[in-house]
A and B are shown apart, each in its own frame.
Chain A
Amino acid sequence: MSDLLKYDLLGASKAIKAKEISSVEITNAYIEAIENTSSLGAYLELVKDKALEMAKASDENISKGKFRPLEGLPIGIKDMFCTKDIKTTASSKILDNFYPTYESTVTQNLWNDGAVMLGKLSCDEFAMGSSNETAAKGNVINPWLKIKKMSPGGSSGGSAAAVAARSALAATGTDTGGSIRQPAAFCGITGLKPTYGRCSRWGIVAFSSSLDQAGPLTRTVSDAALMLNSMASYDKKDSTSANLAMPDLMSYLGNSIKGKKIGIPKEYTQDGISDDIVKFYQKSIDWLKEAGSEIVPVSLPHTKYALPVYYIIAPAEASSNLARYDGVRFGERKEASSLDKMYEITRGEGFGDEVKRRIMIGTYVLSSGYYDAYYLKAQKVRRLIKEDFENGFKKVDFILTPSTPTTAFELGKKQDPLTMYLNDIFTVPASLAGLPGISLPVGLDQSGLPIGIQLIANAFDEAGLISTAHVLEKSANFNFIADGAAK
């Protein structure tokens, strides 16, 4: 492996600041790594010239004695973020020719802080999926096992695969029901979903607006802190943006968790969870105990209703959000004799099967006669799920759970939509409650695939989440590299 690829985000930042390496050097190393790992299919679009131009600008800045928090660091962007004049498709055929004329707030924040853009990363179509297989341009391959083609998870599968394959120093993701945490777990990296409202949704392709939240996918907890520091901001252009200053997350690294209470929800131990994950869940509990925290059993009684609530609310919001793809203002259009036919054929051919399924479910549960029975009911149970967490956080500071019930599965093996939905069983509850969660790798299973553990914090306590995850990361000492990583 090129020595330049060995740096993590924080390490690279220090090396660039100390002028041991230049941004152009490390950016070139990543461009080469992207080319060498192109068979994974993580990138939809590589913007080599732009990357080198940004890297040069960073090097010039440094030579003038200026240094921004992400100065010169090459990162990848999930294709859900609108990037000005750079093709943005949300992995959908219907947006195949869409070039945004504006930049999303989150990516603009990253560029303002000096980050260098490598390209756009594949994801499930409109972020709807848990395996990256619903992407119009085909699935992404998990870099961990060379002998079998495993799923990188989803929907931020390209982001997770790229970070694990050392073809991006870090990446952005979006998480609606687990789309950052689940692929991070499958690919042996760290993924953080902030509190709803922390990162502006402006310029992010909308899927389910009451749940969508952007966050970082990185190699380490420190890297996640560094990225999120820049990504998060109050934004007037997003009416759900939280006007609440976030503390400098970097200053919470290395804090002790002595006396902190870690909740273990009894509802998260269930049939169908793999033995290796149970084992590492127990180990993680032990590690946190050894670090001085107190382990407290908690109950979140409405957990089993989280997936049903999610699969009503998310499709309902999606059916409304995706109404904008009408073949008139942007995106693909199929010609037809009448306006209605044009809408139907454009959308019928432009959307993939999973997206159509969700639009149909969403339309059904919002339709006259069913609204109260499904949508309103789901919104009520959502409140009960949120109250479960509120009660839990009266007793504990953080909640520890597995990130996923199994490690990565083989591509093409889960055809049934419901089996696929079960992947998100441990990540969806925190999404419904709007709470921040982080998945970090703690070990490998018997086939050599990474295992992720999730920590959930109270709303707006990303700082505490970072401190605790950092302690767990140290104990787990996960230092394996994916088989298929760039050499």
Chain B
Amino acid sequence: MSNKKSIVDIPTVNKIARLSRLDIPENSKQSLANDLNNILGFVANLDEVDTSNVEPLASVTGHKLPLRSDIVTDGNIENLVLKNAPESSSGFFVVPKVID
């Protein structure tokens, strides 16, 4: 499995930052790459563990997710939903122009 892991370099930092939608200043990319490599190195000991017959654990209490009725529960609280928006207009969130 370790062949699937690689060293985080600047292009990888750029790619991950892009996926994360994080603007990372040029001068902090190398130290971030170092931190990520250290952390990935730290978690690498998991490779020692044989997990070939182990199911992944997602729910810790074995709790079954309950279903609810498929009904609208929007609460008619448009003004409250928009209250913390940096910019809103006519009942909508406003974002920078996406289509020219």
Q: Can you name the residue of chain A whose Cβ is closest to the Cβ of B2? A: A373
Give the B-binding residues of A (Cβ under 8 A).
97-102, 195-197, 210, 236, 239-240, 242, 302, 304-305, 307-309, 311-312, 319, 323, 326-333, 335-345, 347-349, 351, 356-357, 359-361, 363-364, 367, 369-370, 372-374, 376-384, 386, 416-418, 421, 432-434, 459
Task: Indicate if the CB atoms of B22 and A351 lie closer than 8 Å.
Answer: yes
Q: Are A347 and B60 in contact (CB-based, < 8 A)?
A: no
CB contact between B87 and one of A333, A418, A433 (< 8 Å): that residue: A333
Q: Is B46 within 8 A of A378, CB to CB?
A: yes
Pick the contact of B23 from A242, A319, A347 — CB < 8 Å?
A347
Contact of A360 among B16, B51, B84, B86 (CB under 8 A): B16
Asked whether B61 lies within 8 Å of A196 as measured between CB atoms, the reply is yes
Closest-CB distance, B24 to chain A (whole angstroms): 6
Interface residues of B in 43-66 (CB under 8 A from A): 43-47, 49, 51, 54-61, 63, 65-66
The answer to whether A370 and B4 touch across the interface, beta carbons within 8 angstroms, is: yes
Asked if A197 and B63 sit within 8 Å, CB to CB, the answer is: yes
Within the complex, the shortest CB–CB distance from B2 to chain A, in Å, comes to 8
Verify B58–A379 contact, CB threshold 8 A.
yes
A374 touches B84 (CB 8 A): no
The answer to whether A308 touches B42 (Cβ under 8 A) is yes
Beyond A101-B83, A330-B84, A336-B96, is A348–B39 a contact (Cβ under 8 Å)? no
Which residues 7-32 in B have Cβ within 8 Å of A in the complex? Answer: 8, 12-13, 16-17, 19-25, 32
B34 to chain A, nearest CB (A): 10
Q: Tell whether, in the assembled complex, residue A372 and residue B4 are in contact, meaning their CB atoms are under 8 Å apart.
A: yes
Task: Tell me whether B98 is interfacial, beta carbon within 8 Å.
Answer: yes
Q: List the B side residues contacting A97 at CB < 8 Å.
A: 84
Q: Are B39's CB and A418's CB within 8 A?
A: yes
> In the assembled complex, how far is the CB of residue A420 from the closest CB belonging to chain B, in whole angstroms?
11
* 24 pairs, CB–CB < 8 Å, chain A vs chain B: A100-B84, A101-B80, A101-B81, A101-B84, A210-B60, A236-B66, A308-B45, A311-B42, A323-B21, A329-B93, A336-B96, A338-B98, A339-B95, A339-B96, A339-B98, A343-B21, A347-B20, A347-B22, A347-B23, A370-B5, A379-B58, A382-B56, A383-B56, A383-B57
Contact between A342 and B22, CB atoms less than 8 A apart: no
> How many angstroms from the CA of A384 to the CA of B48 in the assembled complex?
13
Chain B residue at minimum C-beta to C-beta distance from A211: B60
Residues on B with beta carbons closer than 8 Å to the beta carbon of A330: 84-86
- Chain B interface mostly helix, strand, loop or mixed? loop
Please provide the 5 A-B residue pairs with the shortest distance between their CB atoms, ordered closest to farther: A348-B23, A434-B60, A379-B56, A330-B84, A333-B86
**What is the CA–CA distance of A380 and B48 in the complex, to the nearest angstrom?**
13
Choose among B80, B81, B86, B98 the residue with the greatest number of A CB atoms under 10 Å from its CB: B86
B6 to chain A minimum Cβ distance, whole angstroms, is 9
In the complex, A376 Cα to B85 Cα: how many Å? 36
Which residue of chain A has the shortest Cβ distance to B44 in the bound complex? A308
Are A359 and B45 in touch, CB under 8 angstroms?
no
**Inter-chain pairs besides A356-B20, A377-B51, 15 sampled, C-beta below 8 Å:** A101-B81, A312-B46, A328-B95, A329-B84, A339-B96, A340-B21, A343-B21, A357-B36, A364-B16, A377-B47, A380-B51, A380-B56, A381-B49, A383-B54, A384-B54
Chain A residues near B56 (CB, 8 Å)? 376, 379-380, 382-383
Chain A residues near B40: list those with CB within 8 A.
Answer: 361, 364, 374
The interface residues of chain B lying within 8 Å CB-to-CB of A323 are: 21
CB of A64 to closest CB in B, whole Å: 33
Closest to A95 in B: B84
B29 to chain A, nearest CB (A): 11
Contact, CB under 8 Å: B23 / A344: yes
Q: Is the CB of A196 within 8 A of B60?
A: yes
Known: A101-B84, A351-B22. A364 touches B66 (CB 8 A): no
On whether the beta carbons of B21 and A347 are closer than 8 Å, the reply is yes
- Contact of A342 with B61 in the complex, beta carbons under 8 Å: no
The docked-state distance in angstroms from the alpha carbon of A383 to that of B53 is 11
B20 to chain A, nearest CB (A): 5
Q: Are B95 and A349 in contact (CB under 8 A)?
A: no
B71 at the interface (CB under 8 A from A): no
Give the nearest-CB partner of B8 in chain A: A364
> Please, which residue of chain B has its CB at the minimum distance from the CB of A362?
B20
CA distance A195 to B12 in the complex (A): 38
Neighbouring B residues of A432 by C-beta, 8 Å: 60
**Contact A418 B38, beta carbon cutoff 8 Å:** yes
Give the chain B neighbours of A305 by CB distance below 8 A: 45-46, 49
User: Which residues of A are found within 8 Å of B13, using beta-carbon distances?
Assistant: 360
Q: Give B59 Cβ to nearest chain A Cβ, in Å.
A: 7
The answer to whether A357 and B84 have CB atoms under 8 Å apart is no
Provided the pairs A101-B83, A197-B61, A359-B22 are in contact, do residues A337 and B96 lie with their beta carbons within 8 angstroms?
yes
Q: How far in angstroms is the closest Cβ of chain B from A194? A: 12
Known: A330-B84, A380-B55. A338 touches B23 (CB 8 A): no
- Residues from chain B with a CB closer than 8 A to the CB of A339 are 95-98
**Which B residues are CB-close (under 8 A) to A416?**
38
